[in-house]
Amino acid sequence: MKAIITGSTGMIGIGLLLECIDDPRVEKVLIINRNSLGITHPKVNEVIHKDFNDFTAIRELLAGYDVCCHCMGVSSAGMSKEKYTQLTYAITKALASELYGINPNMVFNYVSGTGTDSTEKGRLMWARVKGKTENMILNMGFKDAYAFRPGAIIPERGVKSRTGLYNTLYFIFRPFFPLMKRMKSVTTTTKLSRAMINLYFHPQQLKHLEGADINRIAAIE
C-alpha cells in the first residue's frame, strides 16, 4: 500500500505516519506539509506545499498512490462560517478533486468528528460544514471513501496535539486513560491509524465511522 497523508504535523497525522512506518504492508508514504516535519525514513517522502487551495503544482508527485488520509483540521472556535468553510470544505475539495482526477481507484479517508451533521441543516455551523465536506468526499466517486468521526482520542507513542489546551487536558486526565480506553466510544491515535490502514485491505460497508467502529476495524488481523 502506498499512502498520502496530510496534516502529519498534527496529533492524528503524526500518529498515522508512525504506524505507516512500522506496518510492513505500507510500502511508501507521501506527506504534504506547509512546513517541514523534519523526519527522515526510507519509506517517507515529504513535499512542502504552501497553497492548499491548489495542488496542480505538485500533481505529478501525487500519482501512483492507493490511499489518501486527510488528517488536517481546525477548530471552529471564534471563526466565521466563511473562514471555517474555506479551511475545512474548500481545501478538502481542492485535494480530493486533484486526486480523483489522477486516480479514481484511490481510497480516501477523511478525518471528520463526532456530531457531524450529514443533513447540512442542523443548528451547529461546524457540524453543517463538516457534513457538507463528508458528503462531497463520499459522493465524489472514489473506489472507496470513509468519514472518520472520532470523539475522544487518547494520544499514544509520545504523540502530542498542536493545541495547548488539549495537551493540558490530556495531562490532567492521563491517570484515567486506562479506564477511558475500556470505553467503546473512546479511541487512541494508534487505533485510529490502524483502522485507516486496515480499511484498504478490509473494505467496510459502513462509511461513517464512530469511535466504536474505528476500534473494531483497528482490531482486524
The residues pairing with 5 across neighbouring beta strands, listed in sequence order, are 31, 69
Contact call for residues 147 and 116 (beta carbons, < 8 A): yes
CB count within 10 Å of CB 48 equals: 12
Q: Which residues contact 206 (CB under 8 A, 6 or more apart)?
A: 213
Q: State the CATH number of the domain containing residue 196.
A: 3.40.50.720
The model carries a pTM of: 0.89
What confidence tens digit (pLDDT) does each residue in 9-38 have? 898 999 999 999 999 999 999 999 999 998
Give pLDDT tens digits for 38-84. 889 999 999 999 999 999 999 999 999 999 999 998 888 889 999 99
How far is the C-alpha of 124 from the C-alpha of 214, rounded, in Å? 24
User: What is the rounded CA–CA span in Å between residue 74 and residue 182?
Assistant: 28
Q: For residue 142, what is its C-alpha cell?
A: 472514489
- pLDDT tens digits along 170-203: 555 566 566 556 666 689 999 999 999 999 999 9
Cell of 179: 479506564
Q: How far apart are CA 175 and CA 182, in angstroms?
A: 14
Pair 182, 204: CB distance under 8 Å:
no
Res. 157 pLDDT band, cuts 50 70 90: low
Domain count, the chain: 1
Sign of the Cα pseudo-torsion (80, 83, 85, 87, in order): negative
Tell me which residue range forms the domain holding 13. Answer: 2-218
